[in-house]
Amino acid sequence: MHTVVERELELRLILSPERGIPVPARLAYRTDDPYAVHVCFHIHSEHPVNWTFARDLLVEGVFRPCGHGDVRVWPSKTGGRCSVLMALTSPDGDALLEAPAAQVSAWLERTLRVVPPGSEGEQLGIDDGLAQLLAQ
């Protein structure tokens, strides 16, 4: 049986330093994909946009800048408000999204209680699969 840890929250798509628009999103973590986090944007639209990237990247990005290429994450503080910024790049375009740090951190803590760091491989059942193959 697999566990799913989800959190709906409102992100902010940053269009310029002075302007941003709200973006409904759902964070999801599944124990059957223990190394990844899944983010679904515009969850109430006909065609949601889905992104998947390493849970470790988001965990580290809450504390310090990390990532390169398609996904970069870093903490920010603006007007006394702590947030996590995510820069996403694809062939279709780029997006800079701001998420409330407290909500992201609380959700990440829940995922880390379900699958502690370093135990992700146990969720995949690789050892059991190898044992079955070698027993044949």
pLDDT at 32 over 80: yes
pLDDT (0 to 100) of residue 23 = 94
> Could you give the C-alpha distances from 78 to 17, 46, 118, in angstroms and in order?
11, 33, 33
Looking at this protein, which amino acid is placed at residue 102?
A: A
Domain count, the chain: 1
Q: How many alpha carbons lie under 13 Å from residue 58 in its C-beta half-sphere?
A: 28
What would the pLDDT profile of 100-136 be if each residue is shown by its tens digit? 999 999 999 999 999 988 777 776 666 666 566 777 7
Q: What is the DSSP letter of 70?
A: T
pTM of the predicted model, to two decimals? Answer: 0.84
What lies within 8 Å, CB to CB, of 61 at 6+ separation is 67, 72, 73, 74, 75, 84, 86
pLDDT (0 to 100) of residue 129 = 61
Question: The tokens 């310090």 sit on which residue?
Answer: 64
Give the chain's length.
Answer: 136
pLDDT at 4 over 70: yes
pLDDT (0 to 100) of residue 125 = 63
Among 38, 23, 24, which Cα is nearest to 111's? 38
What would the pLDDT profile of 50-97 be if each residue is shown by its tens digit? 999 999 999 999 999 999 889 999 999 988 899 999 999 999 889 999
Domain span at 83: 4-135
What lies within 8 Å, CB to CB, of 94 at 6+ separation is 87, 88
CATH, residue 49: 2.30.31.20
